Chain A
Amino acid sequence: MLSRTAENLYWLARYVERAEYLARTIDATLRVTALPAAYVGKTNEWDSALLTAGVAASFYQTYEEANEHNVVDYLSFSVNNPSSIRNCIEAARLNSRSVRTALTSEMWDTINSAWIELQEVWSKGTSTREDLAKFLRFVQETSLRFDGSAYRTMLRNDAYWFSRLRLHLERADNTARILDVKYHVLLPEEEHVGGPLDFYQWSSILRSVSALTAYHWVYRETLKPWLVADLLILNGTLPRSLASCYDNLVRNLDQIGVAYGRQGPAQRHARGIRNRLEHSNMNDIFQHGVHEFIQEFIADNSRLGEIITKQYLI
């Protein structure tokens, strides 16, 4: 496969994953802000949405205040935000065009139709909450359709594996960030752990990674921070957990290695991260500091991206 094709596929999956993550973030934030103040305290959920999206700094270059209107606009529709949902879909579509030969028609149709809908229905943004809800559903469905099309129609060859690589790197990064932000920025020190504030904060985390129901199935417990962390970091059965993302990354990199008859630094680095996750337990992580653990993970994760690029994409 052409290196450029692999690179485009790789980024394409990232844009789609990213758009969905942003939609989930907005959705979860809206739910929390709709609660009476007594349940959620005085923290600004919109600020934390910007933080988990990693765009807080650039946001304040354009806007004064992180309120619902501004943040939704910036994350969803802003042309000035390179990773707004709109820009992600635009970029996904441009990427798709340049690798059309590597995509199945179902995948192309999903992206192209989403792009057309974006222009025809959503070019002016949304004016009501109902509209916004529809828009967020549209984004999530696009991502589901895209993933489903890839899963059901692509040949299981290097094109498929490369597109899965970036998806899991992005997903791991998102999960790690949301944990980090929520854990350290959102939960005020003096707040009593296990109080109502806590409950809604953690449930919003789980909602934003689509794991609230899963939590109950796995633990059959009320929401507890360390169990949420355990689910999102170490539980290999949850598709968005760090452990699960790394199972997939290692497997896909191995498949590429076998197909090409050669292993390299990317395979070794990914295996290293997975082994660390496999041999950790929540006690150690809390001892070590959740923040530190996640910061290291985020750095390692992005390092893997660089290694893959160097090994295959240039």
Chain B
Amino acid sequence: MAVAFDEMNIPGGDLRPAYQELARWLKETPPEALEYRRQEAELLFRRIGITFAVYGDSESTERLIPFDVIPRIMSGKEWALLEKGLKQRVRALNMFLRDIYHGRDILRAEVVPDDLIFQNPVFRPEMNGQQVPHDVYVHIAGIDIVRVDAEDFIVLEDNARTPSGVSYMLENREIMMRLFPDLFARHRVAPVERYPDELLSALRSVAPHSASGEPTVALLTPGVYNSAYYEHSFLADKLGIELVEGRDLVVKNNEVFMRTTEGLKRVDVIYRRVDDDFLDPLTFRPDSVLGVPGLMSAYAAGNITLANAVGTGIADDKAIYSYMPDIVKFYLGEEPILKNVPTWRCREPKDLAYVLDNLSELVVKEVHGSGGYGMLIGPAATKATIEAFREKLKREPEGFIAQPTLALSTCPTCTASGLAPRHVDLRPFVLTGSKSTTIVPGGLTRVALKEGSLVVNSSQGGGTKDTWILDE
């Protein structure tokens, strides 16, 4: 495995410019002071209740995501490049989705194979030919980015369904500003606090044409037991919109209403954080109590906007991921600014043969998996695990893709034995409304807290950091 790119230090001992002030500050600050602030941050997180639930964990139903007090810093120039690449990628994602559910030019041109779409469980035939308001499918995208060297940002994953984590981006910043006012005073950090405003105006801009006057927006949550419930209530609060559960909504004459103390009130836009499968028991899973019976017919009638649209999973599927560079080229006629991780598609015999021969060096992922579950990290796995995985792969090759283990960049991080480099990724949030695509400067930096570990998922013990984009 290549040596990881160090975000702070240039090999040979010099500091990268963006980190110079932080390094000076760290030199002046005794380790005890850092530890004290870390504890204070944890206390704040607990008191504010910034938690997430871990399913199947009976010990504690709510957990804190560990927070690292050392910010991850990026220069304005680096960010500008990233921002351009992200907007390009999300534009292509939206065009791809529109095409897949309408004309299917890309399939006819044989850029993406048919069966990857039609045999994919996240493809929604209900959306065929369905007009979505303003042709926007992915209103909120969370694109996972890793950095492998000074110039190269690589997209690890496109999250186009119900990406979460933005509350951490916002709360991490709030808590950092409370705990380290002095450090902020020494930097010019681009603010992220506009995000809720941007989100609300994006959501309002995509209201259906049948909405009268100021459109009513609501956030649909599965409820307090959902792992991201904190985020749902946080966003609803910041946006000043109702946080609704399925049971609060009712569909009448193909319009959606919420039950209020003053009677029924029409809803025009739903920022839904409930998965497709659970949205409407009349269309999808009949056993679901999280959704709203009849929601899909109101959607078909064009009386409600769902953000993100139904069926967006087909764009962030790992099987589709490997085609993203071609998808960008096909719709935009441009070279993709952000690279993909080289990916072997196990469904293709040539690729499979290579993967089977090199399992101990590759990361193998389930095409439909998420959150770091069900994957093989070759270099860290035992022989027995690799052999077990080999059998799985042979049985169901189309269910897997493989990628080289990337040398994710590292950032200085507080550990039990002082500051040490740890691997990080970054999830910026891209908003698309009827007129424009915007990104607040920053995102959620996730950090693998164990030495050498590449797993940054919060469900697997990863932590988060505040992400600073310097405004030079």
Any B CB within 8 A of the CB of A78: no
Interface 1/0s, chain A 80-115, versus B by CB < 8 A? 000000000000001001101100010011001100
| Distance between Cα atoms of A1 and B46 in the complex (Å) | 28
CB contact between A98 and one of B223, B234, B237 (< 8 Å): that residue: B223
Q: Which residues of A contact B269 (CB under 8 A)?
A: none
Bound CA span A105–B48, Å:
8
Q: Are the CB atoms of B261 and A1 closer together than 8 Å?
A: yes
Interface string of B256-275 (1 = CB under 8 A from A): 00111110000000000000
Indicate whether B18 reaches chain A with its CB closer than 8 angstroms. Answer: no
Q: CB within 8 A of A109: which of B48, B223, B260, B262?
A: B48
| B 287-304 binary contact with A (CB < 8 Å = 1; else 0) | 000000000000000000
In the assembled complex, A4 has its CB within 8 A of some CB on chain B: yes
A3 and B49 contact, Cβ closer than 8 Å, known pairs A97-B229, A98-B224, A101-B233: no
Asked if A112 and B248 sit within 8 Å, CB to CB, the answer is no
Q: Is B86 an interface residue (CB 8 A)?
A: no
Report Cα–Cα, A100/B219, bound state, in Å.
13
Give the total number of A-B pairs whose CB atoms are below 8 A apart: 55
Q: Known contacts A2-B248, A97-B224, A98-B224; is A312 also within 8 Å of B47 by CB?
A: no
The answer to whether B247 and A101 have CB atoms under 8 Å apart is no
Interfacial residues of chain A within 268-314, with CB under 8 A of chain B in the complex: 312-313
Per the bound structure, the CA–CA distance linking A112 and B43 in Å amounts to 12
Contact B49 A112 (CB under 8 A): yes
Bound-state Cα–Cα, A298 to B261, Å: 26
Question: DSSP majority for the A interface?
Answer: helix
B259 close to A100 (CB less than 8 A): no
CB neighbours (8 Å) of B46 from chain A are 116
Contact across chains for A2 and B237 when beta carbons are under 8 A apart: no
Chain A: minimal CB distance from B27 (Å): 36
Q: Which of B49, B234, B236 has the most CB of A within 10 A?
A: B49
Instruction: Give every chain A residue within 8 A of B233 (Cβ-Cβ).
Output: 97, 100-101
Identify which of B89-97, B126-134, B238-246, B444-452 touches chain A: B238-246
Q: Is the CB of B47 within 8 A of A112?
A: yes
B236: chain A residues at CB < 8 Å are 101
A6 CA / B261 CA spacing, docked (Å):
7
Across the interface, B224 reaches (CB within 8 A) one of A94, A116, A312, namely A94
Using CB atoms, name the residue of chain B closest to A311. Answer: B261
A266 to chain B, nearest CB (A): 11
Q: Which residue of B lies closest to A97 (CB)?
A: B224
Q: Mind listing 6 A-B residue pairs with CB under 8 Å?
A: A2-B248, A2-B258, A3-B261, A4-B248, A100-B237, A109-B47
B interface residues with partner A (beta carbon < 8 Å): 46-49, 223-224, 229, 233-234, 236-237, 242-245, 247-248, 258-262
